[in-house]
Amino acid sequence: MIEALNAAGQGLFQAAWWANIVWPVIWALLKIVVLVLPLLIAVAYLTYWERRLLGFMQVRHGPNRVGPLGLLQPMADGLKLLTKEVIRPDRANPAVYYLGPIMAFMPALAAWVVIPFGPEVALSNINAGLLLVMAITSMEVYGVIMAGWASNSKYPFLGALRASAQMVSYEIAMGFCLVVVLMITGSMNMSDIVTEQAKGMFADKGMNILSWNWLPLLPIFMVYLISGVAETNRHPFDVVEGEAEIVAGHMVEYSGMGFAIFFLAEYANMILFSILAVVMFLGGWLPPFEFLSFIPGWIWLGLKTFVVVSMFIWIRATFPRYRYDQIMRLGWKIFIPVTLIWLIVIAAWMQTSWNIWK
């Protein structure tokens, strides 16, 4: 269907000499809009789902006043933030101050360019997709640093230092997790990573779920999930925004939509890390059992991502906040050694006759 739409668009412009220039640009913009609009809606309603799920876990009501079942609450929140006055500190650097939220939010959207929603269904199905994701997501820390520095205040500056140190620490462990996946797959193409999980003894018997990477790479999978929680500064790793004990981090001098963009960046990153976990370890668009293959792959991808995102909220409702020294010790003294050791174990495993990734 996608190829048919592309061919129809080319046919509209084929008589013009500039067709080979204009239509590829229009086609790329259309695909970006089709991808970004549902993503922004999902980010908005993830805030609603978090409040509803936390309310259920804590035996209280979530949003239930604005619209049926409170479904219009995200729109009301957005309208409120849009109408709030944007107050910039007098001594702040204007250009860097306004660029900070953009640098925090845009990488979370840009990384979706290589996320596959089905076989060969991606905005850009490039061979270096995994490398591109790692490069783009590592840029988010710049938005945090710029926001803390540009505000010209000690409190956001200290918050930016906390946040950037935590993000860099857990990025290292996450990078090793992705290296292990790359090693067993033999490709950085995101679609290839998914299709490789459809092979193996269990997949041949119709039990795809036992052929996915989560089982042989269980320690790596757990490290990736916990590192994703820390990387997004979510509870119990949210000392960056620990309002009860410390000032609310690098965004404390922001108001209105400036603050809202940092808030949305956190939720966009939650969805991004969740879908990456699904693609890397949980079979992407593949059904858990072969007899369920009649259900479209994008539905399986969405359901798995929804479960992983809900896990972020479940963790928030369950664990107390850690001290900062505990967070840093976990990242440097536990996760990095665990991923390095498991990388060596997998490499040795692949050289034996019991290699399951042949």
**DSSP letter assigned to residue 331:** I
- pLDDT tens readout for residues 316-344: 888 888 888 888 899 899 999 999 999 99
On the CB side of 127, how many CA atoms lie within 13 Å of its CA?
Answer: 2
Residue 281 has a pLDDT of: 92
Query: Quick one: how far is CA 101 from the chain centroid?
Result: 17
Residue 294 has a pLDDT of: 87
- pLDDT tens readout for residues 204-215: 888 888 888 888
| C-alpha distances out from residue 236 to 46, 203, 228, Å | 18, 37, 12
On the CB side of 173, how many CA atoms lie within 13 Å of its CA?
Answer: 29
Residue 307 has a pLDDT of: 94
On the CB side of 61, how many CA atoms lie within 13 Å of its CA?
Answer: 5
- pLDDT tens readout for residues 284-298: 899 999 888 888 888
Residue 324 has a pLDDT of: 83
For the chain, residues with pLDDT lower than 70 are 1-21, 23, 242-248
| C-alpha distances out from residue 7 to 1, 10, 23, 35, 45, Å | 10, 5, 10, 20, 35
